[in-house]
Amino acid sequence: MTIYNFSAGPAVLPKEVLLQAQAEMLDWHGSGMSVMEMSHRGKEFISIANQAEADLRELMAIPANYKVLFLQGGAHMQFSMIPLNLLRGKLSADYVNTGEWSKKAISEAKKFSYVNVVADNSDKKCSYVPDFKTWKLDKNAAYLHFTPNETIGGVEFNWVPNTGDVPLVADMSSNILSRPVDVWKYGLIYAGAQKNIGPAGLTLVIVRDDLIGHADPRLPTMMDFKTHADNDSMYNTPPTFGIYMAGLVFQWLKRNGGIGVMEQRNIAKADILYGAIDSSDGFYHCPVNVADRSRMNVPFTLRSTELETAFLKQADARGLLQLKGHRSVGGMRASLYNAMPIEGVRALVDFMAEFAQANA
């Protein structure tokens, strides 16, 4: 039976990448060692890390005045590192609330700063992206933080806020590398690796260099972006195996045509699944405003929790795994990251049609 893993994260990785890692597991390129066993300061690992960074820079067309940092601590650590580094003596930061991850970023920032919530979609159960015309921006804000893709609610921006001189900060944990991004429009982009990049344990930060070096001197060394920027992410031992795996994913993306091609594939996959939901005569329901539906994370519900339980059980038996929605919202959620093949989405919608027919 072919298995398709729809987990929101840690998530599916390209099979080719896993096979390559398997082949290189005991002896990386004739070094006689596994990547896990290498010194992070040795020439072998330095070449792996440099290649990974160069490939990411090429894929995302990252301008030279941006640093790429390979950190740890997940997106959660960035929820505090961002205010601690980017407030730069200012009194307030702007945040957009579009769902669970925005809320977590906001509550952490409130420990360090006044937070101005410029827009909030909780009036409609976090099911839409608030119209930019309604945002109450503060031109003196230290930065504006938003979550381009809400992994739990399935709400995704298909536009980029224009905040003028206020640096734009984005939590791209669940949609980085899924579509082209104009990096120059952002002050900082961050992402936990375990959705669309590689294994858990690695956190990617792309930060404009003028935003580095303004932290309070009492800030712990490890939390200062400058520490990591000045030491090419090797101040301490970085997550070496995660960087290696991310590098293999970047090469896979390049071999497959890059991010523009990925975007076309992701649109096609999302269209198939939303099409199945919308043509089910209400048997399946997606609560998200149509224009703001995520290509990466597709939440949907059935008319009763009993039916949902049956759906999940039967899907599991068919090799369609991890379709349960987040514990905070229930229902179902199918995550369609880059590594999910279109065949997986076809298998899912075939099953959905059968299930709907059997339970109409």
Ligand X SMILES: *Cc1c(COP(=O)(O)O)cnc(C)c1O
User: Helices marked H in the chain — which ranges?
Assistant: 15-24, 43-60, 74-86, 100-109, 225-230, 240-255, 258-278, 305-317, 342-358
CB closer to ligand X, 66 vs 190: 190
* DSSP type of residue 130: P
Minimal distance in Å, beta carbon 259 to ligand X? 18
Residue 314 CB-density burial (10 A; 0-12 exposed, 13-18 middle, 19+ buried)? middle
Question: Which residue number has the CB closest to ligand X?
Answer: 74
Minimal distance in Å, beta carbon 171 to ligand X? 5
Distance CA 155, CA 175 (A): 11
- What kind and span of H or E run contains 93? strand 92-97
Distance CA 225, CA 296 (A): 29
Minimal distance in Å, beta carbon 52 to ligand X? 18
Closest to 335 in 3D by CA, of 308, 298, 300: 298
CB closer to ligand X, 173 vs 178: 173
CB closer to ligand X, 74 vs 239: 74
Structure tokens at 13: 């990785």
Q: Are 149 and 288 in contact (CB under 8 A)?
A: no
Minimal distance in Å, beta carbon 360 to ligand X? 34
Give residue 103's identity as a one-letter amino acid code.
K
CB closer to ligand X, 101 vs 300: 101
CB closer to ligand X, 153 vs 302: 153
Is the bond leading into 10 cis (omega within 30 degrees of zero)?
A: yes
Minimal distance in Å, beta carbon 78 to ligand X? 8
Assign 203 to helix, strand or coil.
strand
Q: Which residues lie closer than 8 Å to 202 by C-beta, 6 or more apart? A: 70, 71, 72, 192, 193, 239, 242, 243, 245, 246
Distance CA 113, CA 98 (A): 20
Residues involved in catalysis = 101, 171, 195
Binding site for ligand X (CB under 6 A): 9, 74-76, 101, 147, 151, 171, 173-174, 192, 195
